[in-house]
Structure 1
Amino acid sequence: MHPNPAQRFTAELLPRIIERLHRLSHGTLHGEVLPPEIPNEPGRLRVWAPARANAGRFAYPLDITLSWDSWEVDRLFATGGETRFAEYLDALAGKLDAWQEPRQFDINTRTQADPTVLIGGLDFEHLMR
Structure 2
Amino acid sequence: MLARWRTVVCPHRSNSQRQDAATLTTDFFARFEAECLPRIAAAISQHDRRVQLHTLPAEAPGRPPRLRVTGDGPPDLRRHPYALDITLAWDGLEVQRLFAAGGEVRFAGYLAALPAKLRAWQEPRGIDLRSLSQADPAILIGGLDFEH
* TM-score computed with the length of structure 2 as normaliser: 0.80
Map of 1:44 onto structure 2: 66
Conservation of the 8 A alpha-carbon contact between 1:62 and 1:111:
yes
Q: Please give the alpha-carbon distance, in whole angstroms, between the structure 1 residues aligned to 2:30 and 2:64.
A: 6
Indicate the residue corresponding to 2:93 in structure 1: 71
* 2-11 or 109-118: bigger deviation: 2-11
Secondary structure of the structure 2 residue equivalent to 1:124: coil
Aligned to 1:12: 35
Secondary structure of the 1:54 match is helix
Give, in whole Å, the separation in 1 of the partners of 2:136 and 2:34.
29
Query: Unaligned stretches of 5+ in structure 1?
Result: none
Query: Unpaired segments of 5 or more residues in structure 2?
Result: 1-22
Which structure shows the higher helix fraction?
2
Task: Please give the alpha-carbon distance, in whole angstroms, between the structure 2 residues aligned to 1:10 and 1:41.
Answer: 12
Partner secondary structure for residue 97 of structure 1: helix
Shift of 1:40: 3.5
1:69-90 per-position Cα deviation (integer Å, ceiling 9, x unaligned):
0000010000010110011000
Q: CA RMSD in A?
A: 1.3
Alignment partners' CA distance in 2, 1:52 and 1:75: 41
Q: Identity of aligned pairs, percent?
A: 52
**Corresponding position of 1:84:** 106
Q: Deviations over 1:8-40 (max 9, x none)?
A: 101211111111111111x11111000000123
Q: Which structure: larger Rg?
A: 2
SS at 1:118 equivalent: strand
- Picking from 56, 64, 82, the partner of 1:60 is 82
Q: Per the alignment, in what secondary structure is the counterpart of residue 38 of structure 1?
A: coil
User: 2:112 and 2:74 mapped to 1: Cα distance?
Assistant: 26
Q: Distance in 2 between matches of 1:60 and 1:92?
A: 23
The total of aligned residue pairs comes to 124
Amino acid at match of 2:67: L
Q: Is the 8 A contact 2:83 2:132 kept in 1?
A: yes
